[in-house]
Amino acid sequence: MSSRAQNYEFQEWWNKHREFLDKPENTAFLTVEIHSPTVDKGHTRSARQLSWLWLLKFQQLATSLAWLTDGFIDLVRTANRRIAASKTDSPFDSSISSRLYRIIKYFLFLVILLLCFELITYLKGWHFSPPSVESAEAVVERAYAKWLEIRVNYLAPPLQSLTNLCIILFLIQSVDRIALILGCFWIKFWKLRPVAAAEYVGRENVEDYPMVLVQIPMCNEREVYQQSIAACCIQDWPKERMLIQVLDDSDELDAQLLIKAEVQKWQQRGVHILYRHRLIRTGYKAGNPKSAMSCDYVKDYEFVAIFDADFQPGPDFLKRTIPHFKGKDDLALVQARWAFVNKDENLLTRLQNINLSFHFEVEQQVNGVFINFFGFNGTAGVWRIKALEDCGGWLERTTVEDMDIVVRAHLCGWKFIYLNDVKCLCELPESYEAYKKQQHRWHSGPMQLFRLCFVDILRAKVSFGKKANMIFLFFLLRKLILPFYSFTLFCIILPLTMFLPEAQLPAWVVCYVPGIMSILNILPGPRSFPFIVPYLLFENTMSVTKFNAMISGLFRLGSSYEWVVTKKLGRSSEADLVAFAEKE
């Protein structure tokens, strides 16, 4: 089969048109033919489309404004409900405690008025060329000139004097904080820690173990009573050498029945445990152990271990604390460290963990090693009963019975040991109301105690150094000066310097030194570094509550003697304890 003859005419026509298509200037029409033409939407929209577009944007804006308004209203309603609830639930007269907050509200209103006045004068240009009283023509101009005269001659000098005083106190407290940090580094570098003279591991003779009394004070602790009782009942200590007292101050009948049933359950298992309930609940928390120590069988015991209702000591707690008393007849107290099972629950617990980690890791440890004196934390500690009796026992005169008894024991010549490596699990308050009431008690009680025992400290037969440390460092610097200057400097002076520029407040006082101090506070808990800014703001906010508590305790105001049991949620359940122990 022969091939088809080639068509030369078609080949010539195709080559000529292909040369034309290959030229760059002739390829544009191909793009137009292949792709669909684009349309400029901005020029092709009709008036109706534009109106619908703007209507849609307006609807979105209205929805956003409505969402913000609803959120703000819900926030105000929630705040009002919490304020109303706190006033209703509070068992003491809140008129005295709220007086400071009313003053702060008036101060805020005054600051807003001054701000509006300053804005008017700024728009008038009087900031750049201040008028005088003689040259002023308008009433507002004359008022501003008179305000400048009063500000320079009468307001700025006393404010500057108060500023200088607060700066000096701030620097003294900062030096104390740096000294504590350096002391903690020294302890870590040289690995200084108390060493027990004896151990109770592998001993078969039961008589070698001293008699230990374990006390668990509680009041309506329906969320945590089971785990605290169980943790004490499973202590690795001979049962015949240990007695557990459950000191129940509950005024709710169902709580009493639950706690009593739990005690009976452990009694059936062979544990020596007793249930005690006071018919007349007096003397705050101090009245509870005071009543229990009056029992006749207490004279048979040498030591007493105290645990609050939300504390769960490890099974080896007694074996790690009691040996430190061996051969040290002048040792009165062995204090263990707190560990928190809910420190990562919310922002409030994280911020509390920062403060308490510094307190235990730095303050307690440094004071225990170098000064041999620190504040008893009221729980997770073991006392020599002879020392309690020697210093007068539990007294009901303040709301800080733990600090009261440790001060009296120190003045009687007794010594103390702090064990940073022995931890006792507990729970942090997770609500702001519970934390606020706890802080009020912790800051008003020391001022009550300082007012009562100041003369006793001066008359005590101890060295001048111990007296100076107790008065100036333990009470004045850390319990009185700290809340005073933090509230006055950052809540009063700093806002006033915006309207009284004649009173100078250095930038390093406002920014640099507080930032450095915050970093030092977070060093014991490096995981808390992301929360340094919220921590700094939160401490300035809480300075109002702490200052109010300090003043009420110092001048014996009604709110200083309030006693509200810190609300627990039972976070430290069995699963939480196991997980925490594995993590540690």
List residues with catalytic annotation: 249, 402
Q: Which amino acid is at 253?
A: L
Encoded tokens for 20? 């034309």
Q: d(Cα 432, Cα 348) in Å, to the nearest integer? A: 7
| Helix segments in 151-197, DSSP class H | 156-190
CB atoms near residue 498 (< 10 Å):
12
Strands 331-340 and 303-306, sheet pairing = unpaired
Q: d(Cα 525, Cα 542) in Å, to the nearest integer? A: 20
Please give the backbone phi and psi of residue 428, each rounded to the nearest 5 degrees, phi first: -90, 145
Encoded tokens for 173? 């407290």
| Helix segments in 193-332, DSSP class H | 225-233, 253-268, 287-292, 317-321
Please answer whether residues 360 and 337 qualify as being in contact, where contact means their C-beta atoms are separated by less than 8 angstroms.
yes
- Nearest in space to 446 (alpha carbons), one of 486, 472, 469, 475: 475
| Backbone CA torsion sign across 173, 175, 176, 181 | positive
Q: d(Cα 298, Cα 523) in Å, to the nearest integer? A: 43
Q: d(Cα 97, Cα 93) in Å, to the nearest integer? A: 8
Cα angle 112-515-376, degrees, rounded to a multiple of 5: 100
Please answer whether residues 167 and 486 qualify as being in contact, where contact means their C-beta atoms are separated by less than 8 angstroms.
no
* DSSP 8-state code for residue 370: I
Encoded tokens for 377? 């934390």
- Nearest in space to 553 (alpha carbons), one of 394, 359, 400, 379: 400
Please answer whether residues 546 and 491 qualify as being in contact, where contact means their C-beta atoms are separated by less than 8 angstroms.
no
Residue 450: CA atoms inside 13 Å, Cβ hemisphere, count? 23
- From the number of C-beta atoms within 10 Å of its C-beta (0-12, 13-18, 19+), residue 39 rates as exposed
Cα angle 304-308-310, degrees, rounded to a multiple of 5: 140
| Alpha-carbon dihedral 154, 158, 160, 161, rounded to 10 degrees | 150
Length of the chain: 584
- From the number of C-beta atoms within 10 Å of its C-beta (0-12, 13-18, 19+), residue 43 rates as exposed
- From the number of C-beta atoms within 10 Å of its C-beta (0-12, 13-18, 19+), residue 270 rates as exposed
